[in-house]
Amino acid sequence: MQARTIPTGKNHQECSVTLRFIIRRLVFLVLVIWAASTIVFFIPRLSNRNALRERFGELARTGGFSPADLEKIIASMQQQFGLDRPLLEQYWQYLHNVVRFDFGYSLYRYPSTVSDLIAQSLPWTIGLLLVSTILSFIIGNLLGGISAWPRAPRWMRSIATPFVLLTGVPPVIMAILLLFFIGFKLKWLPLGGAYSVGQVPNLSWGFALDLLRHQILPALSLILGSVGGWVLSMRGMGITIQGEDYVNFAEHKGLTAGRIFRDYYMRNALLPQVTGFALALGTVVTSAIIVEGLFGLPGIGTMLNLAIRANDFPTIYGIVLFITIAVAVLMTIVEFLYPLLDPRVRQS
């Protein structure tokens, strides 16, 4: 029998453990993506609705061709999209396409592919959602950390309180309030759109500034509402950590206050928050639909919203699947980061 914690000669062992961990996570990731795509494949086929029939029926009603031709058109389209073939064959073809990020054609914006639509709208969403999620993570944890730090001055510890109060305000209301007061009444910032009407996207400072001005209100409405959540969970962690022996011993060692705060207190209190961050990434999309819609930003949320209204099934499912994959990948990345942050996780 070999003891598990022999300090010498463990490098080899540690390496294979790490490798096993990575492989296991990657296999799990593939499984998640497969499950998500399978659900996305079967759910529309469970419903009685036929997207083609609805779309062409609508066209037929508004005129253009006779209802008699409708059946023929639908039949030929069914054949073109491969909808007349057996379900399993369709499923196999579909999986084959998903692997190549081919989600098919958009019905509403035919002949654009769903991948094209996603590629167009994705930068907007990443620019706003990811940045504001990261910002509110940083701000919230810093404020929460300070608010539970007994050695911080009282005024510093109370900065976090208003943010906690704002947690109860849903992003919609927050966005409307910001729009009304800052955009409409005070006219400090534009009311909506990704950039000013008449501007042509280019690589100049003027355009970049204009772009930034348009992102401030949407970002604020996302950040103001979510900082409080981070503050609360971080404060809970902080209260536990500040009483830990190693924080006290750090002070006994005569370390400067800043170093104790950073290396001994925050570093440890942040560990569970990283998991929280991975979970928060999952809710990013929900906020995207609301906030992008309200501010008229051409992101993934808006695209999804439009697709739903237009019964554009391939686009809906393409976007949903894409988001699922993106969140799963991001979470896996965070999970790979975690052992780097906490040495104790590395061995178990």
Q: In the complex, what is the shortest distance from the CB of residue 278 to other proteins, in angstroms, rounded to a whole number?
A: 19
309 near other proteins (CB under 8 A): no
Q: Which two tokens stand for residue 113?
A: 């592919």
At position 150, the amino acid (one-letter code) is: P
Number of residues that bind other proteins (CB under 8 A): 27
Please identify which residue in 102, 116, 210, 342 interacts with other proteins, judged by CB under 8 A: 342
The contact pattern for other proteins, residues 130-159, with x = CB under 8 A and - = no contact, is: --------------------x---------
User: How many beta carbons lie within 10 A of that of residue 260, not counting itself?
Assistant: 21
Residue 222 to residue 229: CA distance in whole angstroms: 12
Residues 250-289 interacting with other proteins (rule: CB under 8 A)? 250-256, 259, 263-264, 267-268, 271
- Judged by CB, which is closer to other proteins: 113, or 242? 242
Residue 92 to residue 116: CA distance in whole angstroms: 23
Q: In the complex, what is the shortest distance from the CB of residue 237 to other proteins, in angstroms, rounded to a whole number?
A: 14
Stretch that binds other proteins, among 79-87, 218-226, 243-251, 328-336 (CB under 8 A): 243-251
The answer to whether 112 touches 105, Cβ cutoff 8 Å, is yes
341 near other proteins (CB under 8 A): yes
Q: In the complex, what is the shortest distance from the CB of residue 235 to other proteins, in angstroms, rounded to a whole number?
A: 18
63 near other proteins (CB under 8 A): no
Q: In the complex, what is the shortest distance from the CB of residue 153 to other proteins, in angstroms, rounded to a whole number?
A: 13
Q: In the complex, what is the shortest distance from the CB of residue 272 to other proteins, in angstroms, rounded to a whole number?
A: 13
The secondary structure of residue 140, as a DSSP letter, is H
C-alpha pair distances (Å), 66 with each of 69, 79, 161, 164: 6, 20, 65, 61
The answer to whether 41 touches 87, Cβ cutoff 8 Å, is no
Q: In the complex, what is the shortest distance from the CB of residue 343 to other proteins, in angstroms, rounded to a whole number?
A: 5
> Which residues does 29 contact at the CB level (< 8 Å), separation at least 6?
328, 329, 332
Q: Cα angle at 169 between 168 and 172, to 5 degrees?
A: 145
245 near other proteins (CB under 8 A): yes
Choose among 119, 33, 39, 100: nearest CA to 303.
Answer: 119
249 near other proteins (CB under 8 A): yes
Residue 289 to residue 304: CA distance in whole angstroms: 7
SS3 assignment, position 105: strand
> Which residues does 228 contact at the CB level (< 8 Å), separation at least 6?
140, 163, 164, 165, 166, 167
Residue 182 to residue 219: CA distance in whole angstroms: 13
74 near other proteins (CB under 8 A): no
Please identify which residue in 2, 5, 48, 62 interacts with other proteins, judged by CB under 8 A: 5
Please identify which residue in 1, 2, 7, 197 interacts with other proteins, judged by CB under 8 A: 7
Residues 88-107 interacting with other proteins (rule: CB under 8 A)? none
Please identify which residue in 18, 101, 244, 293 interacts with other proteins, judged by CB under 8 A: 244
Q: In the complex, what is the shortest distance from the CB of residue 156 to other proteins, in angstroms, rounded to a whole number?
A: 17
Stretch that binds other proteins, among 51-59, 92-100, 140-148, 245-253 (CB under 8 A): 245-253
Stretch that binds other proteins, among 3-11, 55-63, 85-93, 219-227 (CB under 8 A): 3-11
- Judged by CB, which is closer to other proteins: 124, or 264? 264
Q: Cα angle at 111 between 306 and 103, to 5 degrees?
A: 70
11 near other proteins (CB under 8 A): no
Residue 24 to residue 165: CA distance in whole angstroms: 41
The answer to whether 218 touches 295, Cβ cutoff 8 Å, is yes
SS3 assignment, position 348: coil
Footprint of other proteins (CB under 8 A):
5, 7-8, 150, 244-246, 248-256, 259, 263-264, 267-268, 271, 341-344, 347
